[in-house]
Structure 1
Amino acid sequence: MLGLGSLAKKVFGSPNDRKVKSVRPLVAQINALEAEHQAKTDAEIIAKTEELRSRATGGESLDDLLPEAFANCREAARRALGLRAHDVQLIGGIFLHQGNIAEMKTGEGKTLVATFPAYLNALTGKGVHIVTVNDYLAKRDAEWMGKVYGALGLTTGVVYPRQPDEEKRAAYAADITYATNNELGFDYLRDNMRASLSDMAQRDHNFAIVDEVDSILIDEARTPLIISGPTQDRSDLYIAIDKIIPELVEDHYTLDEKARNASFTDEGNDFLEDKLHEVGLLPEGQSLYDPESTTIVHHLTNALRAHKMFHKDQQYIVRSGEVVLVDEFTGRMMPGRRLSEGLHQAIEAKEGCQIQPENVTLASVTFQNYFRLYGKLAGMTGTAATEAEEFMAIYGLGVVEIPTNVPVARIDDDDAVYRTAREKYEAIVETIREAHAKGQPVLVGTTSIEKSEMLGKMLAAAKLPHNILNARQHEQEAQIVADAGKLGAITIATNMAGRGTDIKLGGNVEFKVMEAIAADPTGDHAAIRARIEEEHRADEQKVKDAGGLYVLATERHESRRIDNQLRGRSGRQGDPGRSSFFLSLEDDLMRIFGSDKLDKMLSTLGMKEGEAIVHPWVNKSLERAQAKVEGRNFDIRKQLLKFDDVMNDQRKVIFGQRREVMAAEDIAEVARDMRHQVIEDMVATYMPPKSYADQWEVEEMTRAVRETLGIDVPLADWAAEDGVDQDVVEERLRDAADAYMASKAAQFGPEQMRSIEKQVLLQTIDQKWRDHLLTLEHLRSVVGFRGYAQRDPLNEYKTEGFQLFESMLDGLRSDVTTKLARIQPLSPEQQEQLIRQLQAQQQAAQRALEPAAAETPEAAREGFDETNPETWGNPGRNDVCPCGSGKKFKHCHGRLA
């Protein structure tokens, strides 16, 4: 008996089916134009782009141009790449153009799909950004799909770290720009620290297509991008505190694994107080509870978290004496990314690495708020449906599941749950042995580097040949993934099973051809390719006969999406395949989220050693646990966004003001308005409304006028005159200050004065914004305690944040007015020197942002290998070390013994 919902779905299709069905007529229109476009010459394809461009800029809507544009793009791709887009790829492209997330299974050709909406939206001339998860993919896709855009008469650019400024501006000026989310966000912040509009790289934020959209907009959404400058060195304090932590016992602290937090118990505080008095870190008579001890408590908590919550080879690795974070979702290293508020320094102290100084924030933005700058946003991924609610709530993005070109033939097994981790791993090794024996390639998914290497040792002991893919083997990623589908291959991957590189059954033909040509460069390339393709067809059939790729996961991730990404590696384009999840009650997810009941139940059932429980009910209960975690993480991100929105509104105002100042030819009027506002505030302070002349603070105001406006006025005489009220005093002050500044402008000359006013204003805005960011950080860290007083922390943050912003703007007006009033006319040489000095101050904050070297990036050089010093050539002592550490060569591999 079917329920009402099931019956409706059977008759009308699911909401997703109806969405897909609604665009079928558009696909029919595109297909109807195919013959016409096939008949065009290459020049006519480009001419068609020009015609569409003029119609788009002439006011015709992109929706009306879509069938012709897609048909033109499909033909260009067929000629440039030999790939003819399937109907489902056109459907994906249509939904991307409409500002949705297209969920497409692995191997369905998402890279090609993006070219259709990118081409259509680039016709407006406003630029399109295609966002990838790493620099390798940005460069690969720009080069690969650039052939399609070139055939259509469009330009393609790629943005990468440490890129020369001229090249970066050219990349952003191109019709289509490929870049990583990190580089886009940092360029946005850098642009808003520039001294002039001509130095800015990015254009308007028109349209972005985000690849692996779930990874960027969900997993990394909570990570703010921060541009910072160093503060004073406090490494001695970190080292001293780090020595105390190992002396703590379990009664001294509590750990909250869910929230990744740690705190001290009363016993712990008493122990630490005695210990800190003993080593001289806490003055005699001062308690840990005193306000003066806040910094010490902060450092102690960070040291405890570093020891108990952050583990080597899991959350970070140590490479070349440096602590490098590992992305928990992709398993990739994140060189240059550091934990904030002293936590990274605490880990460096724990690992005995050189402690880098803490940084002060110069500018910051979250990915959530950066990507909401775009007029239109779209995304692609293999897994988004589980987070559809969050995508809609935060970004206004709908999720549409695009049907596969060929039905999925993969077999998905029910989860197998073992009592202990040992039993689970023994079962995994046995299962791998069985699959390997019949030639079936196996992709094993683990959740940490530590576990992948432990499993690697077990496979080595069982004499099973295998490859390990994790942050340590980052450079060989594409090669290892390309080999993962070969007959009998065993590949262990840490949370990043081949993103961006398809696992093809029988191995990757292109990689095999490149290897063969490299081995025999003088041979007949066409003959080599034909031979390898023939061999590959036989290998592919053998792998299919063995059952296709077997994805074997050793744990459930707290997010269903990550599990689905791993599972989706198998069964691409209708290939056979299989996926299984092997779990134990000792796994983190099971342990943290209530495996006690299940353990009791399994004991009652009398499970034998090595036996597993396999049942669809187990899958359901695990999915519910994962959905709970996802829901909690969504709530955290939602709450964080509400807090960040407060800063974001202020950021937009400040960045907007900076842009206006840079764009303005003459800002004398802005400076005058600021001066008048300062005078109005001054009069209101020292001569309050409705007060009598004998109540005015004349002496104090005379001093304030001299210090702020640079003028001496007879305020006492004015106050003694009959009929003089606050309005008259304000008017006289305005006239006197304006006359003084006009005489100053005449002495400087209009050209010099304009330049000085602009530099002073920009420099003061930047300084005030930096100080304000620090104040907001401090406010944010304490506002949570207001909840104990039954007050909403968010409302408190909004109210006080707004007051702080108003106060900052008042301070800005006052500082600019004072600085301009104090500037004295100088000789031409001194004037030039002053302007240079102001410009130098303005650019000091940017020095850290500039490219390390305006030459070919190290990694792009022929034969270069960052892991092999013999390929580095002769780096200069002050150049950035080629190993990728970010340090100068003399402080890294060039250090003298």
Structure 2
Amino acid sequence: MWQGIAKTVFGSSNDRYVRSLDKIVARINALEEQLVDFSDEELQAQTAKFRLQLEDGKTLDDIMPEAFATVREASKRVLGMRHFDVQMVGGIVLHRGEIAEMKTGEGKTLVATLATYLNAIEGKGVHVVTVNDYLARRDAEWMGRLHGFLGLSIGVIVPNMPEAARREAYAADITYGTNNEFGFDYLRDNMKQERRQMVQRPFNFAIVDEVDSILIDEARTPLIISGPTEDKSDLYVALDAIVKQLVKDQEALEKAADGPLGEDEGYYTKDEKSRNIQLTEEGVEEMEKRLIAAELLETDNLYDVENTQVVHHMDQALKAVVMFRKDTDYIVKDDKVIIIDEFTGRMMDGRRWSNGLHQAAEAKEGVEIQPENQTMASITFQNYFRMYPKLSGMTGTAATEASEFWDIYKLNVVEIPTNVPIQRIDEEDEFYKNTLDKFAAIAKAIREKSEIGQPVLVGTVSIEKSELLSSFLDKEGVKHEVLNARMHEREAHIVAQAGRIGAVTIATNMAGRGTDIQLGGNVEFRIEDELSGMEDGPEKDAAIQRIAEEVAEEKRKVLEAGGLFVLGTERHESRRIDNQLRGRSGRQGDPGLSRFYLCLEDDLLRIFGPDTLFAKMMNANLEDGEAIGSKWLSKAIETAQKKVEARNYEMRKQVVQYDDVMNDQRKVIYEQRAEIMDSERVDDVVEDMRRDAINAIVTTACPPGSYPEQWDVEGLKDKIDEVLGLDVPLDDWMEEDQVEPELIEERLLDLSEQKLTAKIADIPETSWRRVEKGILLERLDYHWKEHLATLDALRQVVFLRAYAQKQPINEYKQEAFGLFETMLDTLREDVTKVLLTAEFRAAPPPMPRELPDLPDFMTGHIDPLTGEDNSNDGDGSERQAPLFGTLAGAPVATASVGGAQGEDPFAGKGVSRNAPCPCGSGSKYKHCHGAAA
């Protein structure tokens, strides 16, 4: 009670914080009159003046009031828009590295220019992160006019850009792009062979638009770059046969029991909500026996770390056989397993499940098994964005997730007041018995509003529901637009006109976000749509004037009809998404109305609602077509949403917990790569690796504290031959008095050094340094890739340790550390082996080298629950000529990557110079047989 009284008297902590910023806003406003008298040249000179002040020791906070006032004045002149005082507050919040929650229509895009300009003055780069490519291009062009006027350079990152263009865009003062493009560029940069290939600069400051969507909704799955791995078809087929037999045995047990088995009975249990399947204790024992009999296990214990890969694929086979159904989840067509989109029922040709699940489904159906893609680099959005020294964000809905923003990103959420009080009326939810009754009522309500000229925006949760409602509206004779495809630019144009008289727009999952719905229509979009082909002149000016007058008249009529009516066809899993939908209405003090229609068959209530809800509703004898509403129902819905939100938060938290383990290792590897790339020579690193590798070989065969007669002399001989390529008189050494492991190590080091010196005597030193550096990077990347695959598989099965009363995350940390140490030991040995056993030869002088491209990798950001890929595979680069080949089982390195020698057998056959050479070398044609052309 006392807290409520105190809040009423003094305001909330958010209110007090916002009020504390009024002093800064007053200082900004005081400068406005002075800047109005500046000429354009004087206003543009402000940027150079601010940079000098920063060089003289002033901070960004010191120059902030004058910089913000400069942006406001420039915006008035360039864009014809003046920042409101509340927008200034939003700009301060963004500059301070916090999240500004601003209602829809409050001008977040314009607010971002304040903090963007101020932080870009330093020249360290500012990233503005958007949710799709259309918004990135639009904002870069729109706000770029303002920043360009003030002397700042603008870059935009979109899919399929050439590497040189990306590098130039990142070098700009301000860079716009999507979260996926920024993340994938970071991963690709850390797979490159030379520093000059990298496109990104060190991180400085990022502003994330729609921060809840990017840092919350999309943070459930990591960004992954993958490539094909070795063929494991035999393993998939063998596991499929074992799993199918286990399922048959379980079905026999269920038949004998005349009903479903108890929780701990049978061989496995399944959870349809999460599509998970788990072996029972009896199932583990049975599976262990069958895998041992099939000789698929390395050890006799199913969950030993050596069996991680097999257990992972066993789990995927179980999931494919038990949980995924033919003709529902997938179909078999042309000897291929094709995924069916759960929302549309359409085939998703070309899309594949990850982590070996698709291969398990192919084995199940007996079709050709395509190679699995192996993770080559990955990172979560949580760990990517936490690398920025300063991070801020803006959205219409963040307060409900404030605790998660603080827990994960240490970001504070500040609610910015609206410029004009909100006039929208939010009505109680209407509740119906079934889906057909609900949609009939929705169609009737839409027809009634459309007839009086009130525009309607309908929000659905799936494409299937959009199409169902569209058929109801067709029966009612209501003209409408359906938006459900990922055509962001077209969506933006349609959404921009959704406020016109009688307009009815059905949008799935907030289609067209980032575009305001202006009552009466959007003048700029209508001009672009209707007059794009008209040349400038008096005729076009008259047409623009006509459109402006029509929009003003339509707005007057729409206001009289009650403003925009937002209708939700069901509640989303998160109340935050519902609030986003509602927030489309009532912008800038406009009137508006919102209402949600619900029924018992909605997914939210069917899956997550309390069981008693169904019984109580059925007992109420609700008549067909009849609607009810009550606080009890609203409370039940809110409870269901909180359940889902808590579940999703736990999933995201788990993702970041596991990635934090990998992140520590990722930093070590990427820092090591950067040091190698920046070094002129790496012979000291290679020498240390050789010393460590020899020490490991000798220590393994001659354990400390043991006697010479206990040493594994034959094993030591074999290892010396395998890794060092040396035939040493080990037996003679053993006959010496007081022979010690340290003495053996020193002799092996001397002999290996002599061998290497003789081997490279005819190779120019500069060429050898390149080869040495190339081998080190290539082997590092190879072992890191293999390590990622092992960690992926370990993570899939480590949760089973909970049955032994152990914490899976702690087990994962412990084993991941051990695996990382093992990987480093293997890397040292492998680099030593390649350098001492490979055959090197001098190559012709290299041709002038272009920057080599990365191989054709696949990028993915696939939601595990929906199968929807939220990424753009925008690499588009061609294959790099391999620095390493294979000859008689040993790596062969050349001192350079030059063109092929001899005549060109493909001359005159129309081969493009940038295409892969037809000889199969992997090089571009112009660097191979076409080099002389």
Q: Choose from 346, 361, 384 the match for 1:370.
A: 384
What CA distance in whole angstroms lies between the structure 1 residues aligned with 2:105 and 2:362? 41
Summarize the Cα distance change of 1:345–1:576 in structure 2 as closer, same or farther, 3 Å threshold: farther
Write the mapping of 1:329-478 to structure 2, written as runs, cut at 5 A: 339-343=353-357, 357-471=371-485, 476-478=490-492
772-781 or 719-728, which deviates more: 719-728
Q: SS in structure 1 opposite 2:375?
A: strand
What's the CA shift for 1:150? 0.3
1:741 aligns with 2:756: yes
Quick one: structure 1 residues 670 and 845, their matched pair in 2 at CA, closer, same or farther if it must change by over 3 Å? Answer: farther
User: Could you say if the C-alpha distance between residues 596 and 76 of structure 1 is closer, same or farther in structure 2, counting changes exceeding 3 Å?
Assistant: same
Q: Greater share of helix residues, 1 or 2?
A: 1
| Change over 3 Å in CA distance of 1:825–1:411 after alignment to 2 | closer
Kindly indicate whether the alpha-carbon contact (under 8 Å) linking 2:227 and 2:857 is maintained by their aligned counterparts in 1: no
Please state whether the residue corresponding to 2:160 is helix, strand or coil.
coil
Q: Partners in 2 of 1:29 and 1:774 — Cα distance? A: 56
Q: Kindly indicate whether the alpha-carbon contact (under 8 Å) linking 1:557 and 1:563 is maintained by their aligned counterparts in 2.
A: yes
RMSD: 4.2
Counterpart of 2:96 in structure 1 is 98
* Superposition pairs of residues 38-437 of structure 1, within 5 angstroms: 38-231=36-229, 256-261=271-276, 295=313, 298-299=316-317, 301-302=319-320, 304-307=322-325, 339-343=353-357, 357-437=371-451
Bigger mean CA deviation after superposition, 844-853 or 191-200: 844-853
Q: In structure 2, what is the Cα distance between the partners aligned to 1:729 and 1:778?
A: 39
Q: Structure 1 residue aligned with 2:605, among 567, 590, 593?
A: 590
Post-superposition CA distance 1:321-359 (Å, at most 9, x none): 98697999xx99999875412445678999999996531
CA–CA distance in structure 2, aligned partners of residues 30 and 533 of structure 1: 33
**What is the CA distance between 1:262 and its match in structure 2?**
5.5
1:773 pairs with one of 760, 778, 788: 788
**1:745 Cα offset (Å):** 4.6
What's the offset of the Cα at 1:707?
Answer: 3.0
Q: 1:479–1:511: 8 Å Cα contact kept in structure 2?
A: yes
Residue identity matched to 1:788: Y
Amino acid paired to 2:470 = G
Hey, what's the Cα distance between the residues in 2 that align with 1:627 and 1:309?
34
Whole-angstrom distance in 1 between the partners of 2:24 and 2:17: 12
In the aligned structure 2, how far is the partner of 1:554 from the partner of 1:616? 19
Tell me the CA shift for residue 826 of structure 1. Answer: 2.7
Task: Note if contact 2:320-2:364 (Cα within 8 Å) is conserved in structure 1.
Answer: no
Equivalent position amino acid for 2:567 in 1: L
1:219-251 per-residue CA deviation (whole Å, 9 max, x = no partner) reads 11111111111246799989x989x99999997
Give the stretch that moved more between structures: 800-809 or 424-433: 424-433
* Alignment correspondent of 1:791: 806
Task: Evaluate the alpha carbon distance shift between residue 356 and residue 122 of structure 1 in structure 2; reply closer, same or farther with a 3 A threshold.
Answer: farther
- Code of the residue aligned with 1:4 in structure 2: it is W
Bigger mean CA deviation after superposition, 419-428 or 640-649:
419-428
8 Å CA contact retained: 1:133, 1:181: yes
2:667 pairs with 1:652? yes
> What is the 5 A alignment of 1:686-725?
686-725=701-740
Q: Check if 1:634 corresponds to 2:634.
A: no
What SS does the aligned partner of 1:609 have? coil
The secondary structure found in structure 1 opposite 2:841 is coil
Pairwise CA distance, 1:98 = 0.9
Q: 1:257 to 1:823 in 2, by over 3 A?
A: closer
The answer to whether 1:512 aligns with 2:552 is: no
Alpha-carbon distance in 2 for matches of 1:29, 1:518: 43
Change (3 A) 1:327 1:393: farther
Shift of the alpha carbon at 1:308?
8.5
| Residues 94 and 117, structure 1, Cα contact 8 Å, conserved in 2 | yes
How far, CA to CA, are the matches of 1:365 and 1:145 in structure 2? 30
Q: Provide, for residues 504-538 of structure 1, a one-character-per-residue CA deviation record: whole Å limited to 9, x for no partner.
A: 11111112222332365466222211111111111
Give the corresponding residue for 1:813: 828
Task: Sort the Cα spacing of 1:327 and 1:724 in 2 relative to 1 into closer, same or farther, 3 A.
Answer: farther
Amino acid at match of 2:325: H
- Specify the code of the residue in structure 2 equivalent to 1:415: D
Shift in alpha-carbon separation, 1:799–1:37, aligned structure 2, 3 A: same
Give the 3 Å change call, closer, same or farther, for CA 449–207 of structure 1 in structure 2. same
SS at match of 1:407: coil
> May I ask how many residue pairs the two structures share in their alignment?
834
Distance 1:235 1:413 in 2: 58
The 2-side partners of 1:635 and 1:759 are apart by 42
Equivalent of 1:852, from 869, 876, 879? 876
CA contact (8 A) 1:438 1:488 kept: yes
Deviation digits for residues 683-716 of structure 1, max 9, x if unmatched? 3222222233443334433443343234444444
Looking at structure 1, the residues matched to 657 and 843 of structure 2 have their Cα atoms a distance apart, in angstroms, of 51
Q: Secondary structure at the match of 1:524?
A: helix
Cα distance between partner residues in 2 of 1:164 and 1:810: 38
Q: Go from structure 1 to structure 2 and tell me whether the alpha carbon gap of 1:508 and 1:326 turns closer, same or farther (over 3 Å shift).
A: farther
2:563 equivalent among 541, 544, 548: 548
SS at match of 2:320: helix
Deviations 1:113-140 (A, max 9, x none): 1111111111222111111111111111
> AA paired with 1:87?
D
Residue 58 of structure 1 and its aligned partner are, at CA, apart by: 4.6
How does the TM-score come out when normalised to structure 1?
A: 0.84
Secondary structure of 2:477's aligned partner = coil
The residue number in structure 2 matching 1:669 is 684
**In the TM superposition, what is the alpha-carbon distance from 1:647 to its structure 2 partner?**
1.1
Instruction: Quote the Cα distance in structure 1 between the aligned partners of 2:574 and 2:97.
Output: 25
Within 1, Cα distance between the matches of 2:207 and 2:441? 42
Instruction: Return 5+ residue gaps in structure 1 as ranges.
Output: 284-288, 314-319, 855-875, 881-897
Question: Do the aligned partners of residues 135 and 251 (structure 1) sit closer, same or farther apart at CA in structure 2, a change above 3 Å counting?
Answer: farther
- CA change 1:437–1:282 in 2 (3 A) is farther
Q: CA deviation at 1:37?
A: 2.2
Is the Cα contact below 8 Å between 2:329 and 2:340 reproduced in 1? Answer: no
d(CA) in 2 for partners of 1:180, 1:379: 14
